[in-house]
A and B are shown apart, each in its own frame.
Chain A
Amino acid sequence: MTKYGMAINKTRCIGCHTCAYACKMQNGVAKGARWNRVLTEGCDVEDGALGQYPALSRSYLPLACQHCENPACQRVCPTGATYKDEMGRVEIDYDKCIGCRMCMAACPYNARSFNWEEPVHQPDFVYGDKDVPQRTKGVAEKCTFCKERTDRGEEPRCVQCCPLDARIFGDLDDPNSEVSKAIATRHGYQLLEEQGTRPQVYYFE
């Protein structure tokens, strides 16, 4: 079996947001939505800091769908629009989505965006990968682990574009994959582990 996963090196992450825009471009994400965000951890302003001057610290947290092994969103989805695919990705069948937003309430990571209106694209044409399905108003969307790219054997766009090579993508079921090794040797951890969602996105320092 293949179980796609990702490991993000927080030491190398400089919070440049390249992944966030790469994702927006690749997936034709509309105005007012982001599948991939970069948070300044614990701060109320971007590029803020924790601590008292001059003993400050700052860390960035790139955050998107965690492709949980035990996805809360998939559990609560009434129609099976959200599903766990054979490659271990959490995906959405937009044709089945009734827009109830159970998944949005269920996701501990706020990873999902809802199409509150007909998506408005800036620029006003369909940019991004031509294989990415377009979404209409009334459906939820989120990071797909770049399903269209990974199905073609390519890395997700955020991994490809990261200027610092801070992201590793691969098969968690293969103990020899780069991602598995990084998680094992560099003490990868998951976000909100206590929620039991068992994310397939790991972080390490």
Chain B
Amino acid sequence: MELFKRNKVATAVLVVLAAVGIGAWVWQLMNGLTVTGMSNGVSWGTYIIMFMFFVGLSAGGLIVASSASVFHIKAFKKVALPAIILSTVCICLAGMFVLIDLGGIQRVWRIVTGPNPASPLVWDMAVITLYLIINILYLYFMRKGAERAVTIVSRFALPTAVLVHSVTAWIFGLQIAKEGWFTAILAPIFVASAMDSGLALLLIVLAVLNGTGRFETPKELFASLAGLLATCIAIDAYFIGCELLTMGYPGASGAETLAIMTSGATAPFFWFEVIGGLLIPFLVLVFAKNRQKTGLVVGASVLVVAGVLCKRIWLLLTSFATLNIEGAPGVMGADGWSLLGLYAPTLVEIAIVVGVISVGALGFMALASKLLVPAAQTETAPAKVRAAAATDLDFDPQTA
């Protein structure tokens, strides 16, 4: 566990945070979900936001890695290993958030013994499990150098990745009760958001690995991934734009929901995502020159990741902001009646989220220590591969 030894302070901090998180979770198990900010009005909160967020983050890695095989983008192969490690860790975290959110985790086996096939949650759990298995197989075969097996797995990995985001979207998108969720475009939006946030996270991680000298990503590849990110941002923005137009145009109930997003309780998150998460990163990354500058790419990536987190927040909470049937006294909760969905995460929720992410970081460090070959040992990587990569890149929006 080399990474732990080399980063003792960081490791110690992460261990402490993880321990605090686990403690908070035990506290939650003892007292129930009342320790969270959720209520009968806002029945989902930070955990489900984080679940959506991490499912999405796990996408980038797997999509990049499997694209390398499926679409023969050989350059991507270079980063396939860290990409898959990242993907594996993120999907594990996503799964943890779902379990943490359950009020009756002691009965979770019921989902296996008596699944309701109509429930998107059942399918989501199934697809996430499948996705996790594919990730592990991917890692296993890559580690073994079984090129053929990797190619086969990657052919399954790409559609599974698309599916995992779609099914996650359908948890929300099939709910007719929630105006802000019930849309056919939610699955494409989730896929697009997954791609941009996942790719952005991959770029951040690659940059960090570069910095530590643990793993070196060729500059051209970095730039081309950044180009791909710009494309994904554009696609994401396009889908969101389509949805917003459809919501607002009739001036009916969708417009009311839109008003909550643009000027109501969730407006800060909405506008941060639109400006900080989509517009600015795109304007940065759309220029090839900027894509050469690691700092700019990482900055844009951070914005994209933060933007998608904001989007998860507004997407979830906007639909809880008002009740379908309006009238005082509203909905009864632990703190009394409420006409509006009011939610703020509690310290327990924050501690658990930080703890889970710390566990993820530790997990990544562990896997990276075990699986990633230090940069010094890959110096022998043939220069021609890099050249080939450059020619294979046809994702550049500037040239496309």
Q: Which residues of A contact B (CB under 8 A)?
A: 32-34, 37, 39-46, 48, 61, 63, 72, 75-81, 95-102, 104-110, 112-118, 137-139, 191-192, 195-197
Contacts and interface: CB of A to CB of B under 8 A. Distances in A.
- By DSSP majority rule, is chain B's interface helix, strand, loop, or mixed? loop
Given A37-B329, A41-B326, A100 B121 contact: yes
Contacts of B31: 117
B324 interface: yes
Contact of A97 (B43, B104, B339): B104
B252 to A, nearest CB: 11
B120 interface: yes
Given A41-B327, A63-B325, A138-B32, A113 B40 contact: yes
B118 A75 contact: yes
Interface in B89-107: 98, 101-105, 107
A108 B176 contact: yes
B107 A97 contact: yes
A75 B174 CA distance: 10
B14 interface: no
B325 A138 contact: no
B255 to A, nearest CB: 16
Nearest to B341: A110
Nearest to B171: A102
B43 A105 contact: yes
B320 to A, nearest CB: 8
A105 B101 contact: no
B178 interface: yes
B332 A32 contact: yes
Interface of B: 31-34, 36, 38-41, 43-44, 98, 101-105, 107-108, 110-111, 114-116, 118-122, 125, 171-172, 174-178, 323-336, 339
B336 to A, nearest CB: 8
Given A75-B118, A138-B104, A110 B41 contact: yes
A30 B102 CA distance: 21
A44 B328 contact: yes
Nearest to B339: A44
B384 to A, nearest CB: 51
A110 B176 contact: no
Contact of B175 (A32, A44, A48, A76): A76
6 contacts: A98-B102, A101-B101, A116-B36, A117-B33, A138-B32, A138-B102
Contacts of B326: 39, 41-42
A37 to B, nearest CB: 7
Given A76-B119, A99-B102, A117-B34, A48 B328 contact: yes
Contact of A46 (B105, B114, B323, B328): B328
